[in-house]
């Protein structure tokens, strides 16, 4: 099996170029070869690649000049340079210019393949937001692609932060409605008093403050897809009206008398056990069956562990590029920690960790400290802070202190949490969802911030 996006090998020595290409192809990698920097740039202008492996010593464009040009034109593209022992100083210069790593000649095939495995861009599925390295994910998106061909209503369930909206957008992009609008509404984020008018629209004078007629989300999604996010948070009274809209395929604005015919596809999501919500009387059974035509359960990130590192690399490249820090790479220790972490906040939490890493990484390599994962990161190998030193150089019994770097990371985390809390109007539940953090953990942190004087009641 070969990957869809090839690796570009740039080497002016024909024998070495052939040897490197043969090694990669025998390992199942698709490869494109270029005899120099000019040819490499011509390839990149018309072909997406997952990694560039280039020699340093080349004429007329050497590897470092090529690297700088790639960083300008393709900031997300990882580059590994091959260099002789005598050029180690140039390799250091290359790392500063944004190279992920370098291979010291002569190198074993395993060293080359290890670098490829670590740095190549993850395989994506026709969508810049979709990364599927785990067989579980591949099966999920295969089913999503199949259901996208019909107009069947889809119900996406799974824990908060698993990527339900990503799957919903994937379905829309692979449907016959892809040229139509994709409209999303979070049923948990809008007050009950406004949700009906937001969904169905309203006529002028329908209620106090309705000075103009307004189309609702259903009409906005005409000829496209409507995502009803967190559908189980919708009030029961409104569920009955929603059921009628889905049955009749027409909507009537609040205060209106003329129904509007709908031509839309509905995708709904929930992070609750919907059968349990029905049993407890929180959700209408008839509406559940109306929505549950084609159910898709999105597994938690810990249940598709082969997605963790590809997703981390993808998100690091994405946020690093936006922040003007292209070429950031994860160290081996950082990847091991990411792989072992249990990810209670799923992909949303992983994205938050990568955003923090872009801010905290001191150089081009994201190390373990830059991740700033919680204390539960590796249960079998906790990281202890160094003991405080007394005036005579010995440890002070029973006293622990934190490094300035740890203090800075805590400050960044605190500011991020408090800004998120303010953005959602003080709702701990919504803040926890955005942060990818269990509400219990968030409550504990907020209580600590109050005690430290950073948050007022």
Kindly state whether residue 229 falls inside one of the protein's structural domains.
yes
Residue 86 binned pLDDT confidence (cut-offs 50, 70, 90): low
Kindly state whether residue 124 falls inside one of the protein's structural domains.
no
Kindly state whether residue 31 falls inside one of the protein's structural domains.
yes
Cα distances from 3 to residues 67, 117, 123, 367, in angstroms, run 23, 12, 7, 28
197 membership: H or E segment, kind and range: helix 192-200
Question: What sections of 299-367 are H helices per DSSP?
Answer: 308-322, 332-340, 346-360
Helix, strand, coil percent content, the chain, rounded in steps of 5: 45, 15, 40
**Domain co-membership, 145 together with 289:** yes
Average pLDDT over residues 429-441: 72
What are the backbone angles phi and psi of residue 365, rounded to the nearest 5°?
-110, 130
**Domain co-membership, 236 together with 365:** no
CATH number of the domain that 159 lies in?
3.40.50.300
- Where a domain ends, among 90, 119, 148? 119
Average pLDDT over residues 267-280: 92
pLDDT at 3: 43
**Domain co-membership, 322 together with 291:** no
Range of the domain at 366: 305-387+399-451
**Domain co-membership, 183 together with 248:** yes
Kindly state whether residue 34 falls inside one of the protein's structural domains.
yes
- Where a domain ends, among 284, 299, 314? 299
For the cut 80, the answer to whether the pLDDT of residue 409 exceeds it is: no
pLDDT at 426: 83
Average pLDDT over residues 133-155: 87
Higher pLDDT, 297 or 4: 297
> What percent of the chain shows pLDDT beyond 70?
82
What are the backbone angles phi and psi of residue 331, rounded to the nearest 5°?
-75, 165
Determine the Cα–Cα distance for residues 1 and 8; give it in Å rounded to an integer.
18
For the cut 90, the answer to whether the pLDDT of residue 39 exceeds it is: yes
- Where a domain ends, among 282, 299, 316? 299
Q: What is the pLDDT of residues 372-407, one digit of tens each?
A: 885 334 333 333 333 333 333 333 333 333 445 445
Q: Is the peptide bond before 200 cis (omega within 30 degrees of 0)?
A: no
pLDDT at 408: 57
Q: Which DSSP state fits 385? A: P
Residue 97 binned pLDDT confidence (cut-offs 50, 70, 90): low
| Highest averaged pLDDT of the listed ranges 28-42, 89-103, 437-451 | 28-42
Higher pLDDT, 222 or 211: 222
pLDDT at 395: 37
pLDDT at 203: 78
pLDDT at 60: 87
**Domain co-membership, 417 together with 334:** yes
pLDDT at 438: 65
**Domain co-membership, 311 together with 432:** yes
Instruction: Mean pLDDT check: name the lowest of 35-44, 239-248, 305-314, 321-330.
Output: 321-330
| Residues constituting the chain | 457
Kindly state whether residue 1 falls inside one of the protein's structural domains.
no
**Domain co-membership, 441 together with 361:** yes
pLDDT at 308: 93
Residue 163 binned pLDDT confidence (cut-offs 50, 70, 90): very high
**Domain co-membership, 366 together with 286:** no
pLDDT at 33: 94
pLDDT at 213: 72
Kindly state whether residue 27 falls inside one of the protein's structural domains.
yes
pLDDT at 412: 67
Determine the Cα–Cα distance for residues 119 and 77; give it in Å rounded to an integer.
10
**Domain co-membership, 145 together with 86:** no
Higher pLDDT, 80 or 423: 80
Kindly state whether residue 392 falls inside one of the protein's structural domains.
no
Kindly state whether residue 2 falls inside one of the protein's structural domains.
no
**Domain co-membership, 292 together with 325:** no
Average pLDDT over residues 260-283: 93
Provide the domain count of the chain. Answer: 3
pLDDT at 206: 60
**Domain co-membership, 315 together with 411:** yes
Neighbouring-strand partners of residue 250: 261
Instruction: Mean pLDDT check: name the lowest of 10-24, 132-146, 398-412, 441-455.
Output: 398-412
CATH number of the domain that 13 lies in?
3.40.50.2300
pLDDT at 381: 36
For the cut 80, the answer to whether the pLDDT of residue 457 exceeds it is: no
Q: What is the pLDDT of residues 333-385, one digit of tens each?
A: 899 999 999 999 999 999 999 999 998 888 888 988 888 885 334 333 333 33
How, if at all, do strands 214-215 and 201-202 pair?
antiparallel
Six token digits for residue 398:
């029973």
Q: What is the pLDDT of residues 41-76, one digit of tens each?
A: 998 887 778 899 999 888 888 888 898 888 877 776
pLDDT at 386: 36
How deeply is 72 buried, as exposed, middle or buried, from its count of CB atoms within 10 A (0-12, 13-18, 19+)?
exposed
**Domain co-membership, 404 together with 294:** no
pLDDT at 249: 93
User: pTM for this structure?
Assistant: 0.61
Q: What is the pLDDT of residues 170-211, one digit of tens each?
A: 999 999 999 999 999 999 888 887 888 889 887 776 666 666
């Amino acid at each position: 099996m070969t990957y869809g996006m090839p690796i570009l090998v740039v080497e002016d020595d024909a024998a070495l170029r052939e040897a490197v290409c043969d090694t990669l192809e025998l390992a199942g990698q698709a490869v494109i070869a270029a005899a120099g920097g000019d040819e490499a740039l011509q390839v990149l202008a018309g072909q997406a690649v997952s990694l560039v492996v280039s020699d340093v010593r080349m004429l007329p464009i050497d590897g470092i000049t090529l690297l700088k040009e790639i960083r300008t034109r393709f900031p997300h593209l990882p580059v590994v340079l091959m260099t002789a022992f005598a050029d180690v100083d140039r390799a250091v210069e290359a790392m500063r210019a944004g190279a992920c790593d370098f291979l010291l000649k002569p190198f074993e095939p395993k060293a080359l393949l290890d670098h490829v495995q670590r740095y190549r861009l993850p395989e994506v599925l026709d969508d810049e937001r979709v990364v599927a390295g785990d067989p579980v994910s591949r099966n999920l998106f295969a089913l999503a692609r199949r259901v996208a061909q019909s107009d069947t209503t889809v119900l996406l369930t799974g824990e908060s932060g698993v990527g339900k909206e990503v799957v919903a957008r994937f379905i829309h992009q692979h449907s016959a409605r892809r040229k139509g609008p994709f409209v999303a509404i979070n049923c948990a984020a809008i007050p009950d008093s406004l949700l009906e008018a937001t969904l169905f629209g309203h006529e002028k004078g329908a209620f106090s403050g309705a000075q103009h007629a307004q189309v609702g989300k259903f009409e906005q999604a005409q000829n496209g897809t409507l995502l009803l996010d967190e559908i189980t948070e919708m009030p029961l009274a409104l569920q009955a009206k929603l059921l009628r809209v889905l049955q009749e395929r027409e909507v009537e604005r609040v205060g209106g008398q003329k129904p509007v015919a709908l031509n839309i596809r509905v995708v709904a999501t929930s992070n609750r056990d919907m059968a349990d919500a029905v049993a407890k009387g929180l959700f209408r059974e008839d509406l559940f069956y109306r929505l549950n035509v084609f159910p898709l359960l999105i597994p938690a990130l810990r249940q598709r562990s082969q997605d963790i590192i590809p997703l981390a690399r993808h998100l690091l490249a994405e946020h690093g590029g936006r922040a003007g820090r292209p070429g950031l790479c994860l160290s081996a220790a950082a990847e091991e920690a990411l792989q072992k972490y249990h990810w209670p906040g799923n992909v949303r939490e992983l994205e938050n960790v990568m955003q923090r890493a872009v801010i905290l990484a001191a150089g081009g390599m994201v190390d373990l400290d830059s991740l700033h994962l919680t204390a539960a990161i590796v249960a079998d190998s906790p990281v202890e802070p160094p003991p405080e030193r007394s005036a005579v150089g010995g440890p002070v019994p029973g006293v622990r202190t934190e490094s300035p770097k740890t203090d800075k990371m805590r400050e960044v985390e605190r500011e991020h949490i408090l800004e998120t809390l303010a953005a959602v109007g003080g709702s701990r539940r919504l803040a926890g969802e955005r942060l990818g953090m269990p509400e219990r953990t968030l409550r504990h942190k907020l209580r600590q911030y109050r005690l430290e004087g950073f948050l007022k009641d």
